[in-house]
Amino acid sequence: MKGHRHTSPPSITNILALCRLSIKRKMAYAAGLFGLSLLFWPVDGLVVRPFGPSAEPPLFAAPAPLGQEFMTGYIHSLQRTPVLDAYRIAGGRIWSWREYSQSHNAGLPFQAPAFGRFHIQDPWMVFEGGRHAWPNIVLRVGNAELGRNVFAWEHGKGVTRIDLYERFSDRRLTLDVKRVPLAYALACRTNNR
């Protein structure tokens, strides 16, 4: 037969080499798709933004692993003493975890919460527990004379502290736990001011 070239059948070694290459390529594609899918993986994220409908970008947004803690602080308007509130994020909610105060007058806690405890950690009175949780918190920000509100978020590189009263004087902010794609939470995290 003219034009017909006789070739020997591929050897087992050649077939195995082609299969290995194919498997490596498939593994690379699978790893790439898995990595890409992680960017769209839904995670809880804490978003701090101006209250109400606003075109302003979030002041702060970051992924929130289970049990992530953040704090807000202010100077009590009547007692003129500092108050720190520690919260944890779990199950898509913000849990009141601990409150530190240096006074127990004028509306500040004066006894252990139900399902909680009270102890002294000089100079603070510490109230822990209480099983209170919310999907969001609206924070009324004071100013340099009344309130001096701050926000603090601990992360792997240290603590991000924002003096809210300097940037959002006499406004309200919403602290929301949102289910967002990991890529969004990471992108916003790099824009935190």
**H or E, element range at 159:** strand 158-163
Q: How confident is the model at residue 189 (pLDDT cuts 50, 70, 90)?
A: low
Query: Beta-strand (E) ranges in 28-115?
Result: 42-50, 60-63, 68-75, 82-90, 93-101
Global confidence as pTM: 0.74
- Which of 17-21, 138-142, 144-148 is least confident? 17-21
Q: How confident is the model at residue 190 (pLDDT cuts 50, 70, 90)?
A: very low
- For 51-91, the pLDDT digits (tens) are 888 767 888 888 888 899 999 998 876 677 888 999 999 98
More confident residue, 8 or 89: 89
Compute, in degrees rounded to 10, the torsion defined by CA atoms 39, 42, 48, 52. Answer: 120
Kindly report the backbone phi and psi dihedral angles of residue 15, in degrees, each rounded to the nearest multiple of 5, phi listed first. -65, -45
Percent of the chain with pLDDT over 70: 81
* CB of 98 closer than 8 Å to CB of 127: yes
Query: What pLDDT score was predicted for residue 84?
Result: 92
- For 161-184, the pLDDT digits (tens) are 999 999 889 999 999 998 888 887
Give the strands of the sheet with 60-63, arranged side by side. 60-63, 42-50, 172-181, 136-140
Q: How confident is the model at residue 104 (pLDDT cuts 50, 70, 90)?
A: confident
Compute, in degrees rounded to 10, the torsion defined by CA atoms 79, 84, 89, 90. Answer: -70
Query: What pLDDT score was predicted for residue 66?
Result: 86
Q: How far apart are CA 173 and CA 56, in angstroms?
A: 12
Q: What is the DSSP letter of 10?
A: P
Q: How far apart are CA 127 and CA 122, in angstroms?
A: 13
